[in-house]
Each structure stands twice: as C-alpha cells, then as structure tokens.
Chains A and B, each alone.
Chain A
Amino acid sequence: MRRQRSELFGMAFETLRRNPGRSALTLLGLAIGVGAFIAMVSFGEGARRAVMDQFQALGTHLIRVRGNTRGNQERRPLSDADIVAIERDSSSVSNVIPVARMAFEASHGGEQWWTVVNGTDPEFADLHNWQLSLGGLFNERDLAQRAKVCVLGQTLVRELFGDPELDVLGETVTLGGLLTCRVIGVLGPKGTSTSGNDVDDIILVPVTTFATYFGLPTGYAALEIEPKAPEWVESAKLEAAAVLRRSHGLGPEDADDFQIDSPTEVIKAVDSTATILARLLQGIAAVSLFVGGVGIMNIQLVSVTERTAEIGIRAAIGASPRQILAQFLVEGALLSLLGATFGIILGVGVSVTVAGYMGWERITSVSDVVGSAAFGIAVGLVFGFLPARRAAMLDPIDALRRQ
C-alpha cells in the first residue's frame, strides 16, 4: 500500500512536470497565500510588540506607590525602610526607586521658570527608558556626596537658556534660592504624556541632595517599582502592597495608608487593540490563501476537462473510481505541498526583511509557519477534491468518445 502511494506521488509529479508553466502558476496562488499569511502573522506580532515597547518607553509599566494624603488618619511617610522591605521581600520586583517631588522656581541669569524638581536615584532614566541628549545622569558617588548637580529636561533648556540646541553642560541653575547646582546632563525630548502634561518640564537632582537642601517633611512623594517582567505587573503590585502594609504595621482591619497603581488596564487595552489589528491582517491574508485554493481548483478542473479522454481510457481498462479520485487528489495535494513550501520561503523571507527594515527583533515563529503551511495544504486539499471527484464520476463511455 505504501508502495502504491509512493507510485501515485511519482505519477502526479510526472504530470505536473509535463506542464511546468501551468503547475508553477497554480502553485503561485497558494504560495502567495501561505506567504502572505506567514508575513501577516509576523507583521501583526511584530507591530504589536513594537507598540508595547513604545508604550513601555513612556514608563507605563512601572507601578507607582503614593503616600496617602486623604482623611485625618495617621500617615506614615514613604521611606527608605519601605524601599528596602519591598526589594527584599517581593520576588517579582526587580527595582524600587524613590521620587521626592516639589515645585520650585528655577533661575539662570535673568530667566525664571516654575518647574517640578525630582529627587531620585541614578536608575530613574533606565526605568523610564529615557535617553540623555547631552552629558549623563548623576551616579552613586554623586548620591553619596549629596553633590550639587542636576539634569534638565528639554523645556528647561529652552526656557532658561533660550535655545534647546545649546550646550549647557557646566552651567549653573538655582532652584528656589535654596540650591545652586551644576548641569551635568540634558534629558532627550519625550513630548506630551497621555494626560496632556509636558513630560520634558522636569529637573532631576540626587535624592540625597534633595533631602539635604529642601528636606523631606512628608517622606517621598512616590516610590516607583519595576516588575521583573511586564507580565508580572499585577503580582508585583500585590506583593509590594502586602510588604508595605506589613512595613507600616497595619492590622488586618486597617485601610491602606498608601495608594498603589499599575498600568495593567491601559496595557491590556493597548494590547487588545494591537491584537485586533493583527487579526485583521491575518483575516485578509486568509482570504488570499482562500483565493489560492480557488486557483488550484480552477486549474485542476481545466486539467480534468483536458484529460477527459485519458481518464476514459484509464477507467475502461479497469481503474476504479477511487483510483482515479486518488490520482487527482494526490496531484492537488502535491500542488498544495509545493505551493506551501514556496509560500514558507516567501513568507519567512518577507517577514525577516521587513522586521529588519522596521528594526523589530521579532522573527517568525516555527508554530506560525507550520500552522500557515498546514492551513494552506488543507485549503488545497479541500479545493482539489471537487475536480478529483468530477474526474472519478466521469462515465468512461462518454469520456472515451471525446477524443
């Protein structure tokens, strides 16, 4: 039986080889279909990840803890003890940084500008995926020495120095008349946040410097917590909350004396939008695969009509309807198989090229390729069945008469 099957494939291959132009054209439809499907699955996933990456570049994957400012219940400020406790006891947290925040008038020469001064850690820029356009961020040594250094946002450079392109490293800026600091870096432009605030209107100083010159009467304004992986946002949030409750000595009946937020809802919304777009692309590609299948059906129907006399001869000398059905099914299957193979080459080629061009890290996954190819072959088989059945149902007497 296996022997018979391999002979069937041999015969089918012979038939396709006899008419290479037509076979190639038949293949092409399905190859484009499978290729498009693979490419669209890859593009969809690549685009989705690119959107997520951009979204995370805004720092939205961070969990924020803010001190409770409501009611007259006793407030425990957010402190270094909290940071240590979270970093020690939360397994899904990779990093916690403090943010002290106060509004001051910044001045340089005759220019003044009201802005928000952030006292924080050197990891701030990493956590927010924020590149520096000039100089660098303060380091651990600046932190230890309470160095009088600062990093300016783009808006500050524009407002205090008049020209955002100016090299302002080494210049000094005075904050609220309390601290005069040396500019050691300039943050790259980030534009406007989703809520409409000017993100670039910011000055960073070491958190120790902030505490020394401005004080921390109500503790840190916020703690920013980075989960070990974006998927772990929720568990990191739950863990951090539990640790904070313990660290603040809250009993089971007490309400939280802090507020903790994660961007999960927003990320979910963005993710599902991107996924819908990816599905849409795949749907369009599925249509092209379907059209490829119709192409196989049409060419095979033409082939059956052309070979009516041959089918009549085969039937007359004793081929059973099943054997004739098998012959044409195998031809259809072989066409689909070859089409799917070329489709894989085409689809992976296009995906890799486009991913390289767009700077996406993503390359097509094996399961996507196998799935698309299997789908293509299935389509080819389904559409190959109708012509094969027509061939098997031919009346040998009629078929022989048509020479």
Chain B
Amino acid sequence: MSRFVVRTEKLSKVYHEGGAPLPVLIDVDVAIEFGEIVALRGPSGSGKSTLLNILGCLDRPTRGRYWLGGRDVSSLDRTAQAWVRLHYIGFVFQTFHLIAHSTALENVALPLHYAGVPREPAHAQARALLERVGLGERLDHRPNQLSGGQRQRVAVARALACKPRLILADEPTGALDTRTGQEILGLLLELHAEEKLTLVLVTHDPAVAAVAHRQIEIRDGRVVRESRSDAPAA
C-alpha cells in the first residue's frame, strides 16, 4: 500500500465557457502522506477550490490521474464517487452546510444512514461523536438554535461519522470569530492526533496555515510553491 493518501499526476481541469477553453488547473502534482496536515493557499480564483473538489471526488479532472489511498479515482461514475465520499472523505465547509430542519443528532447520523447503518446504532454513534466535540447537551437542537462555533462542531462530528481517512476543510474558520476559530482549529488538531486523520485545509488565515506540516501555494492553476513548516503545532 502506498504511503500517500492523495497523489495526483499532471492533474488538469479545463472549463469550456462559450467555446473558449478556460484552464483552471494545469498539471498539478500533489502528494499527501497519511497523517499529514496540509494547507492549500492561494488567492481566490487560483483554482484551489477546484482542486479541493477533485480531491473530494465531487468533480473529475479533465486530464491527469488521481490516486486516493492508492486507488485510481480519476474517472469514477457518480455513484462510485458518492461511495468514496461517504466512506473515505469527511467534508468541513466554511458555511457549515448543515440540514436546517434536522437536529444536530440527525445531521451527524445522516452519513451513517446513507451507509446503511440502522437507526438505533446510527443514533448511538452520532451521540458519541457529538459528545466528543463537546455538544452532548445540544443533541436535539436545530442549527438555528446553535452558535456558529457549535454548528461547525456539528459539521466536524458529521465529517467523522463514517470514519474517513481524509478530512477536507474549506475555510473551516472563515465564518467564525478569531476565538471560536481557534477552538475549531484546536478540535481538528485533537481529532487529527486521536484518529490518525489526514487533514487538508484550504485557508486564507495565517493562523490556520501555521499549524500545517506543509503549505502548498497555488496561483493561476499551478502549484507555485511548497514549503515545509519547521515547527508544526500539536
């Protein structure tokens, strides 16, 4: 088995807007090892969101190849992509993306439902996860009854539900104040240590980038710089 969770080879994505090809990613080679924390940085429009979507199997590359956990996932169909997202990847979004009319418990249990886990064990697991992220008292609250930080904790718990190997976090602190952002970051680092997760963070926040083992900077669809941090946190 490969030591890389994520490995890409000459990954390219080209959009066709009005006939003219618009390259968004050009020959991106990225390799991320198990247990690494990697920050993806770059100005908006640089292509880092597209890269994150491809790494998360929400999108497919136009050219090039992508191995996830040693398996080529460059050209999976929608159903297979969904399976990979469910079992291998956990997403944490900037704006949380919780289901508004469902309780915290139901939100966390949802991936388990899609994985075919029956209701009672799914709810027991979801309860344990919410307790782990410090929301044991808020199980039956709906997102609009929770603060931003609490919502992001629910989202983190949901991302962990099916025991993924890879967590993809898109600006996880972007919608939170500094202190709450620090708390969420602290939670992610704790979970990284406990669960031996691999973390890929897209961020503008230098404080977030600072905790990464490695920073990958993208500009105009190309990797322009990779730098290893001397003193990674945790």
Contacts and interface: CB of A to CB of B under 8 A. Distances in A.
Interface of A: 3-4, 7, 18, 309-310, 312-323, 396-397, 400, 403
A313 B158 CA distance: 11
Nearest to B161: A317
B228 interface: no
B79 A318 contact: no
Given A3-B118, A316-B91, A321 B97 contact: no
Contact of B59 (A4, A309, A323, A397): A397
B58 A7 contact: no
Report the interface size class on chain B: 20 to 34
A316 B87 CA distance: 12
Contacts, number: 62
Contact of A320 (B59, B83, B91): B83
B22 interface: no
Contacts of A403: 95
A320 B114 contact: yes
Given A318-B87, A318-B162, A320-B83, A7 B98 contact: no
Given A310-B99, A400-B97, A320 B79 contact: yes
Across the A-B interface, the 6 shortest Cβ-Cβ residue pairs = A318-B86, A320-B82, A318-B85, A313-B97, A319-B114, A320-B79
B119 interface: yes
Nearest to B95: A403
B85 A316 contact: yes
B124 interface: no
A4 to B, nearest CB: 7
B97 A318 contact: no
Contacts of A314: 99, 110, 114
Given A314-B110, A316-B91, A318-B162, A18 B82 contact: no
Nearest to B110: A317
Contact of B82 (A3, A318, A400): A318
A21 B35 CA distance: 51
Interface string B110-140: 1101111011000000000000000000000
B53 interface: yes
A18 B82 CA distance: 28
Given A3-B118, A4-B116, A314-B110, A319 B101 contact: no
Contacts of A322: 79
Contact of A318 (B59, B83, B93, B119): B83
Given A319-B114, A397-B58, 8 more contacts: A7-B118, A317-B110, A318-B86, A318-B89, A320-B78, A320-B83, A320-B114, A321-B78
B58 A316 contact: yes
Most buried by A among B82, B114, B115: B82
A320 B87 CA distance: 12
17 contacts: A4-B116, A7-B113, A7-B118, A312-B97, A316-B58, A316-B85, A316-B91, A316-B97, A317-B86, A317-B110, A317-B111, A318-B82, A318-B85, A318-B86, A319-B82, A321-B82, A396-B58
Contact of A397 (B53, B89, B118): B53
Interface of B: 53, 56, 58-59, 78-79, 82-83, 85-87, 89, 91, 93, 95, 97-101, 110-111, 113-116, 118-119, 158, 162
Nearest to B79: A320
A74 to B, nearest CB: 91
Contacts of B114: 314, 317-320, 323
Contacts of A316: 56, 58, 85, 91, 97
A316 to B, nearest CB: 6
Nearest to A403: B95
B16 to A, nearest CB: 15
A4 B99 CA distance: 20
A7 B119 CA distance: 8
Nearest to A312: B97
Greatest chain B CB density within 10 A among A4, A313, A321 is at: A313
A396 B58 CA distance: 7
A137 to B, nearest CB: 76
A310 B113 CA distance: 16
A41 to B, nearest CB: 41
Contacts of B56: 316
B116 A318 contact: no
A315 B110 CA distance: 11
Nearest to B53: A397
Nearest to B111: A317
B77 to A, nearest CB: 9
A18 B99 CA distance: 14
A309 B101 CA distance: 12
Contacts of B116: 4
B100 to A, nearest CB: 8
Nearest to A3: B118
A397 B111 CA distance: 18
B85 A317 contact: yes
Nearest to B82: A320
Q: Which of B56, B87, B110 has the most CB of A within 10 A?
A: B110
Contacts of B99: 310, 313-314
A143 B86 CA distance: 95
Contacts of A396: 58
A321 B89 CA distance: 17
A397 B82 CA distance: 13
Nearest to A320: B82
Contacts of A318: 82-83, 85-87, 89, 111, 114-115, 162
